[in-house]
A = this chain, B = another copy of it.
Amino acid sequence: MNPSLRFDVSRAAAFVAPHEIEYQAAAVRAAHDLLHGRRGPGAEFTGWLDLPERYDREEFRRIQEAAARIRSDSDALVVIGIGGSYLGARATVEALGHAFHNLLPKDRRPGPQIFFAGKDLSPVYLTHLFEVLEGKEVSVNVVSKSGTTTEPAIAFRIFREYLERRYGKEGARRRIYATTDRRRGILKQVADAEGYESFVIPDEVGGRYSVLTAVGLLPIAAAGIDIAQLMAGAASAMAEYAEPDLAQNPCYQYAAARHALYRKGRTTELLVTYEPALRSTAEWWKQLFGESEGKDGKGIFPASVEFTTDLHSMGQYIQDGLRNLFETVVQVERPRADIAISGGDAGDGLGFLEGQTLDHVNRMALAGTLLAHTDGGVPNLLLTLPELTPYHYGQMIYFFEKACAISGYLLGVNPFDQPGVEAYKQNMYALLGKPGFEARRAELERRLNG
């Protein structure tokens, strides 16, 4: 049997006493019952809870086939999506793939180059993207529940026209994959009318919880990553973290520990990684927690640092700045590759490292930093992955998803809505002259020019 993740709250013992966790057992049990009984706020969006077991096997097979087709006929896959329709795929591809995936020669890459578009509104980025696509065989995966979100909708207009110009309408049809609503919405209509192969964003799974649906799985599989292992890891986590008893459930212990810290003024959490490959994983994590908890004037502010790099930038602040922080450290136990340090006494004061490996130095940096930051007054929570494999990464995805849901209920918010995201959109529509927004436009322009 594959080992589990390990969560260790003991390094924060000077800040959170064991009883502070224990005393939350009843509240955690209540949150567990709300979640599993599908009776809590946002219950209609808890489809992710048993997704690793109940997912659509037939669609999963189609995803693998589509991914194989993309690998065989495309040099580049452009994934069009924003927020939850993009972060999970990007995080997973970067974490489990090659650090320079897109730069590898074609015969050394397990899949096409992966690019992301429709994730911003920069014309410079898009212009440059088209420049590097020159001469390449391109497929597109457009990911949007409604098809009307501005960023991906504009990008899709542009890419659809590009593909139809290059490959003709029929050729483009075979290179466009739509991940969207099962029935409704403009993207679904277009996909049906044009005959694009399409995949489902389930109604009961919100964007930030959607990485293990077709939203994440198609690009991840296209990049050559084993999505069956990813799902298997998530399924094992689903079984393990179904345990209602806080004392037996590391996932709930993480939720309880961070809630205890928040209640005593630790309002910013830093996700700490020691592998550059986990950079986008931190972005995924920030959306998951920030969007789930940041509402009603409260919530832990999620930030991230990439060590040891950022020990030479944010390290000073963490060691010695305002004490409203805590850190959650993601440790990877065994690296995929290692490098021995040689060279003897090169005069650089590192002779004592002779015969040690780079990974060993990295792990001692982690251990040393954990103690240094704790001594400096920053509580450290520690999550250990045995290895950065699809299986353990799937476990980690589920660990954080479930911890986030329980954490949200402990905080007294709906962890599955995002009412605040509309505000900027309404203003943007008005300023862009969308019909029906005339009064708002006039008011906003008055304020902007005032």
Question: Contact residues of A with B, CB < 8 Å?
Answer: 82-84, 87, 98-100, 102-104, 108, 113, 119-129, 131-132, 147-148, 150-151, 153-154, 156-158, 161, 186-187, 189-190, 207-208, 267-268, 274-277, 283, 286-287, 290-291, 293-303, 306-309, 311-325, 335-339, 341-343, 346-350, 352-353, 356-362, 364-365, 367-369, 371-373, 375-376, 388, 418-421, 423-435, 444, 447-448
Tell me whether A447 and B371 are in contact in the complex, defined as CB-CB below 8 angstroms, given that A267-B322, A321-B290, A432-B352 are known contacts. Answer: yes
Which chain B residues border A325 with CB–CB below 8 Å? 301
Q: Are A348 and B147 in contact (CB under 8 A)?
A: yes
Q: Are B315 and A301 in contact (CB under 8 A)?
A: no
Which chain B residues border A427 with CB–CB below 8 Å? 367-369, 371-372
Q: Are A100 and B123 in contact (CB under 8 A)?
A: no
Which chain B residues border A319 with CB–CB below 8 Å? 420-421, 423-424
21 contacts between A and B (CB under 8 A): A99-B125, A103-B103, A103-B113, A120-B308, A120-B362, A121-B362, A122-B358, A122-B362, A148-B350, A157-B342, A157-B346, A161-B342, A283-B313, A286-B313, A293-B321, A302-B314, A312-B421, A352-B435, A368-B426, A371-B448, A372-B427
Tell me whether A294 and B276 are in contact in the complex, defined as CB-CB below 8 angstroms, given that A131-B104, A349-B148 are known contacts. Answer: no
Of A158, A313, A346, chain B has the most CB atoms within 10 Å of the CB of: A313
Identify A295's interface contact among B119, B294, B316, B369, CB under 8 A. Answer: B316
Q: Are B428 and A368 in contact (CB under 8 A)?
A: yes
Give the copy number: 2
Tell me whether A124 and B277 are in contact in the complex, defined as CB-CB below 8 angstroms, given that A154-B361, A431-B367, A447-B371 are known contacts. Answer: yes
Which chain B residues border A373 with CB–CB below 8 Å? 423-424
Q: How far is the CA of A293 from the CA of B148 in the complex (A)?
A: 43
Nearest residue (CB) in B for A447 is B371
Identify A153's interface contact among B186, B301, B350, B425, CB under 8 A. Answer: B350
Extra contacts besides A120-B275, A154-B358, A295-B316 (12): CB < 8 Å: A82-B309, A82-B312, A123-B339, A124-B388, A127-B336, A158-B341, A294-B318, A295-B321, A296-B320, A300-B322, A301-B322, A368-B444
Which chain B residues border A123 with CB–CB below 8 Å? 335, 337-339, 357-359, 362
